[in-house]
Amino acid sequence: MKIALLQCNLMVGDVHGNVAHLEQAVLDAVEQGATLCVATELAVTGYPPRDLLLRPDFLGHAWHALEELAGRIADLPPLLVGVAEANHGAVGSPAFNSAALLCEGKVSAVFRKQLLPTYDVFDERRYFEPALADGPPNVFTQDGTTIGVTICEDIWNDKDFWSRHRYYDTDPVTRLHEAGAELIINLSSSPFTLGKQAVRESMLSSVAAKHGLPVLYCNQVGGNDDLVFAGKSMAFDAEGTLFARAKGFEEDILVVDVAAREARIEPDYNMEEMQAWNALVTGTRDYVRKCGFSRGLLGLSGGIDSALTCAIAVEALGRENVLGVLLPSPYSSKGSVDDAKALAANLGVKTVTIPIKGPMRAFDKVLDEVFFDMEPDVTEENIQSRIRGNLLMAMSNKYGAMLLTTGNKSELSVGYCTIYGDMAGGLAVIADVPKTMVYRICNWLNNWRGEIIPKAVMDKPPSAELRPDQTDQDTLPAYDLLDALLEMLVERNMSVEAIVAAGYDAQTTRRVARMVRTAEFKRKQAPPGIKITDRAFGTGWRMPIAGRFAF
Amino acid sequence: MKIALLQCNLMVGDVHGNVAHLEQAVLDAVEQGATLCVATELAVTGYPPRDLLLRPDFLGHAWHALEELAGRIADLPPLLVGVAEANHGAVGSPAFNSAALLCEGKVSAVFRKQLLPTYDVFDERRYFEPALADGPPNVFTQDGTTIGVTICEDIWNDKDFWSRHRYYDTDPVTRLHEAGAELIINLSSSPFTLGKQAVRESMLSSVAAKHGLPVLYCNQVGGNDDLVFAGKSMAFDAEGTLFARAKGFEEDILVVDVAAREARIEPDYNMEEMQAWNALVTGTRDYVRKCGFSRGLLGLSGGIDSALTCAIAVEALGRENVLGVLLPSPYSSKGSVDDAKALAANLGVKTVTIPIKGPMRAFDKVLDEVFFDMEPDVTEENIQSRIRGNLLMAMSNKYGAMLLTTGNKSELSVGYCTIYGDMAGGLAVIADVPKTMVYRICNWLNNWRGEIIPKAVMDKPPSAELRPDQTDQDTLPAYDLLDALLEMLVERNMSVEAIVAAGYDAQTTRRVARMVRTAEFKRKQAPPGIKITDRAFGTGWRMPIAGRFAF
């Protein structure tokens, strides 16, 4: 039996496009000798379909497309494919997260997901009813082999592997083993985060070895809104040894001969900077494309954040599809304009320069009568930033190019950014990248490709340049310290007390915690960012705004 | 036994403030002769605490505050109060949604919520583990009466009452009845939506009559972020007759003598316009206050949306705390300025006028070189709107007043609004009010209070005034039709096919559906709006942005 793992980049909501895409993948797999094909979790709907799942018409269209696909591949080997299945019962959530077996023109079996993640970015209990823990086991027989079917989270709850708190008290894999499964297949749409691939491989290896069963894992690839999927579908033998791995961040069809342990192993690069780069490029490319755009633009300040964002945009969209916009003010240093131009030249992107002095003066003039003798404060800095936001959006409107924002996670955490100003845009490319990691990625990029990011950009002190001689460190602790604090506060949910007990300065920690808290209103209106850490702002971060609390 | 329902307006996250507030409420209740006090769901943490529940320190502080409260009221009658309880088990969600019985200085019993809503704005499975359906029943005995405890959703699943699809297959009330309960208490934080109070009363009456048990319902009051809680705590006798109702949209302590059926019944006004008005005023007052502001400002265009928003702001914050900003452009009609001033005069709010012609020219000038021979389009309209957004935010920054946005639900649905322009602000006061309802509320307001909204504002055709002689209906169907379509598409999840089958024009329906779909990116960056309908944009609307689908 040769099993093809169809690692496709699918489009959320586009059920007809997706089944056409899957049909083509099956045809390609058959050419490579596949006798069974496996696609990813919710492949027909694209993942994550979110509240589309609440629409009965959408569930109907998805099922109809599934049946159409069954018909189109009637003469080909069976396909196991993820689909949302309407819950026609009188009770429960509106759907099931299912894997349908398409065989000889029909939906010959349906297997339902049992463990429904409802944490971080996942809302599966909102949409799905779980398979009954004591219902019929999710197995089918193919070429004499009993195959156990799991869907994503179903395979992530082995009590012997996880020392951390688990969400569920059952382990579907154990049950499949008991039901006679000789091979475990997992259909996944498991989002990328830094370092997760190593955990995934280790976990799948452990599950295979524990049960003495081969495990085949098929994962979605590509970006959808804030989530990126790395692909890297895999196969493990009954001893837990990895013997197949598909490409990362690319579509792939991986044909696995389980009995012969034959397949290819694509290399996996676990260097953090490279992982982050690939995820950000994939996320940007797919978000822009799947929103119907082919071009992007961004403001180039001469700083490192916009430099990295521009490099990512060029890799994702092609240099000819990226426009850099320089928006110097009287507070911009000569170096900033030169550095931005040098960066653009290194990347081969066109630039436009629009000095903002005129609009700044016009705002000063109309506000002068209202503000008369009030001292300049952050108001005037925000006005500048919002003039830039307005100009960039005007360019975006006029040219049909998506505006990419350039703020990093450290800024967004503490609110060192202007809502409707530098936060304006369709996609916040590096919103989940801490400032210190921005530097690391840029260093890695320069080592890999030669000096893309000009040395001057790497070396100068970070500054918003919204008033004379301003630097970020007038307002913020050093970024090394800030990022360490933010990782504890934001990603690890640690209390100020615990952080101080770990040796950090109490006053600084409290100040940063307070800044994180009071910036919530800005984050609520931020564009989607590409998630690469365990805890990104966005769908997986749901803090109240009004109220009274510190972290 | 005299039971006091403590209908308090609590602060999310402020556990120490909340227990102090509850202590005072208990003292007041005791003065009125109460022998048992009942507070609302998650009263100690404030509701909804959202991702604060993922922080172990927050759960620790909440429990500590609860124990402190138990100590402080040790000499007073018992208090049944909602609190988040950490799940110290090895498996499951991080907390339980519990009611703690505080008695003689200690936490003498804890009752856990069983039915956890995970739909619309609710994410309870994200945070909470349900009580075991076969665990010990949630009952305790007070003055010889066996009392059954339910928490909000627990009482909303009677299969005899609901003909609609239910989410759960168990009914906690039936189980309490079987366990010998002689009285059912419900601790709620049940958000306001239009028309829900009538359903709530009818449902509670039905449950009481079905089981032949009195039902006491204690509901939170006040606004927290996008949600408003109406209060209106109630008591029903064993025949299902309502014999007590607390105030709406105000704090109240309702003391109920169940045996004697003695208590007061505050009037309930079920007129939709008045309900909406009260909810919007409460939501605005509490959001502004709980964000730490006391003042608000808004742009006054002379149109009906900003007129209603201003009236709400004045009612919520006081006329002295509201500033109206007129931002006329060369496209503003003379009438618009006069109408805005007339409105401000009617409401007694101060205004400032900042003509935007200067900044518009400055933008034209710097963009002229970039755009040169390209035709004016929506870009130029957006620039105007964003100049206004920038000026309003500058006023907000300088004066420490929260900017209130004035867009209605119809606009937000179809994207007839400018991101970072008229969408800019801290709170979108009427973002869940369809345009036709805006008119209805204004009419009602004028009938009630005399001409608050000038007749000219009510009568003129709606216009964004972003180009000469523009009206909304250049772009949109008539609002009666549009709102009917939006109600079907957005609130009722109906398909285009079903709407067309109901007799609506196919082309118009498809066009509106497409507009709703493509405006998602704007809504993702919208400020919080006050939810008053069954389906508001915001926390209960989670659509993908990138992808390909229509509704």
**C-beta of residue B111 within 8 angstroms of C-beta of residue B138:** yes
Catalytic residue among A2, A113, A409, A531: A113
**C-beta of residue A517 within 8 angstroms of C-beta of residue A550:** yes
Q: Considering the domain delimited by A275-472+517-524, tell me its CATH architecture.
A: 3-Layer(aba) Sandwich (3.40)
Q: Is any Cβ of chain A less than 8 angstroms from the Cβ of B531? A: no
* pLDDT grade for B484, boundaries at 50, 70 and 90: very high
Q: What's domain B2-265's superfamily in CATH?
A: Carbon-nitrogen hydrolase (3.60.110.10)
Name the average pLDDT for chain A: 96
Q: What is the mean pLDDT of residues A354-375?
A: 94
Q: Is any Cβ of chain B less than 8 angstroms from the Cβ of A521? A: yes
Q: Is any Cβ of chain B less than 8 angstroms from the Cβ of A294? A: no
- pLDDT, residue A90, reads 86
Spatial distance between the Cα atoms of A232 and A249, rounded to a whole number of angstroms: 8
What are the CA-CA distances from residue A264 to residues A155, A243, A246, B127, B347 (Å)? 23, 7, 8, 42, 75
The residues of B assigned a catalytic role are: 41, 113, 152
Q: Is any Cβ of chain B less than 8 angstroms from the Cβ of A297? A: no
With 70 as the cut, is the pLDDT of residue A377 above it? yes
Spatial distance between the Cα atoms of B455 and B442, rounded to a whole number of angstroms: 10
Q: Write the pLDDT tens digit of every residue in B490-520.
A: 999 999 999 999 999 999 999 999 999 999 9
From edge to edge, which strands make up the β-sheet containing A252-257?
A: A106-112, A95-103, A79-86, A36-38, A2-7, A252-257
Name chain A contacts of B493, Cβ cutoff 8 Å.
54-57
- pLDDT, residue B551, reads 63
- pLDDT, residue A133, reads 82
3-state secondary structure of A523: helix
Spatial distance between the Cα atoms of A473 and A463, rounded to a whole number of angstroms: 8
Distant-in-sequence, close-in-space partners of B492: CB < 8 Å, separation ≥ 6: none
- For residues B502-534, one letter each, b for 16 or more C-beta atoms within 10 angstroms of the residue's C-beta and e for the rest, the string is eebeeebbebbbebbbebbbbbbbbbbbbbbbb
With 80 as the cut, is the pLDDT of residue B550 above it? no
- pLDDT, residue A279, reads 98
Q: Is any Cβ of chain A less than 8 angstroms from the Cβ of B103? A: no
- pLDDT, residue A549, reads 82
Helix (H) or strand (E) holding A308: helix A304-317
Q: Do B358 and A374 touch (CB under 8 A)?
A: no
Spatial distance between the Cα atoms of A48 and A224, rounded to a whole number of angstroms: 7
Phi–psi pair at B49, nearest 5 degrees: -80, -15
DSSP annotation string for B448-465: HHSS-S-HHHHHSPP---
Rounded to the nearest angstrom, the gap between the alpha carbon of residue A252 and the centroid of all alpha carbons in its chain is 19
Q: What percent of chain A has pLDDT over 90?
A: 92
Distant-in-sequence, close-in-space partners of A419: CB < 8 Å, separation ≥ 6: A521, A522, A525, B393, B424
Q: Write the pLDDT tens digit of every residue in A170-185.
A: 999 999 999 999 999 9
Residue of B50, B54, B393 with shortest CB distance to A544: B50
State yes or no: is A113 an active-site residue: yes
* pLDDT grade for A551, boundaries at 50, 70 and 90: low
Give the torsion sign (CA, A55, A61, A67, A73).
Answer: negative
Phi–psi pair at A326, nearest 5 degrees: -95, 130
3-state secondary structure of B244: strand
Question: Encoding tokens for residue A291?
Answer: 């929103």
Q: How far is A224 from chain B (nearest CA, A)?
A: 7
Q: What is the mean pLDDT of residues A424-453?
A: 97
Nearest to B140 by CA among B131, B149, B150, B132: B149
Judge if the upstream peptide bond of residue A48 is cis by omega within 30 degrees of 0.
yes
CATH T-level assignment (fold) for domain B275-472+518-524: Rossmann fold (3.40.50)
Q: Do B391 and A366 touch (CB under 8 A)?
A: yes
Name chain B contacts of A291, Cβ cutoff 8 Å.
521, 545-546
SS (H, E, C) A194-250: CCHHHHHHHHHHHHHHHHCCCEEEEECEEEECCEEEEECCEEECCCCCEEEECCECC
**Strand-pair category, A322-326 with A296-299:** parallel
Interface test with A, best of B58, B126, B329 (most A CBs within 10 A): B126
Domain regions of chain A by residue span: 2-270, 275-472+517-524
* pLDDT grade for B534, boundaries at 50, 70 and 90: very high
Name chain A contacts of B426, Cβ cutoff 8 Å.
521
Q: Write the pLDDT tens digit of every residue in B419-476.
A: 999 999 999 999 999 999 999 999 999 999 999 999 999 999 999 888 888 899 988 9
Q: Write the pLDDT tens digit of every residue in A116-158.
A: 999 999 999 999 999 988 889 999 999 999 999 999 999 999 9
Q: Is any Cβ of chain B less than 8 angstroms from the Cβ of A492? A: no
The secondary structure of residue A452, as a DSSP letter, is -
CATH T-level assignment (fold) for domain A2-270: Nitrilase/N-carbamoyl-D-aminoacid amidohydrolase (3.60.110)
DSSP annotation string for B346-381: HHT-EEEE---HHHHHHHHHHHHHHHTTPPP-HHHH
Note the pTM of the prediction, 2 decimals: 0.97
ipTM for this prediction = 0.96
CB pairs under 8 A between A and B: 268
Spatial distance between the Cα atoms of B412 and A3, rounded to a whole number of angstroms: 48
Residue of A393, A498, A546 with shortest CB distance to B225: A546
State yes or no: is A409 an active-site residue: no
Q: Write the pLDDT tens digit of every residue in A535-544.
A: 999 999 999 9
Q: How far is A179 from chain B (nearest CA, A)?
A: 24
With 90 as the cut, is the pLDDT of residue B90 above it? no
CB atoms within 10 A of CB A495: 20
Residue of A50, A94, A125 with shortest CB distance to B125: A125
**C-beta of residue B98 within 8 angstroms of C-beta of residue B39:** no
Residue of A52, A91, A548 with shortest CB distance to B14: A548
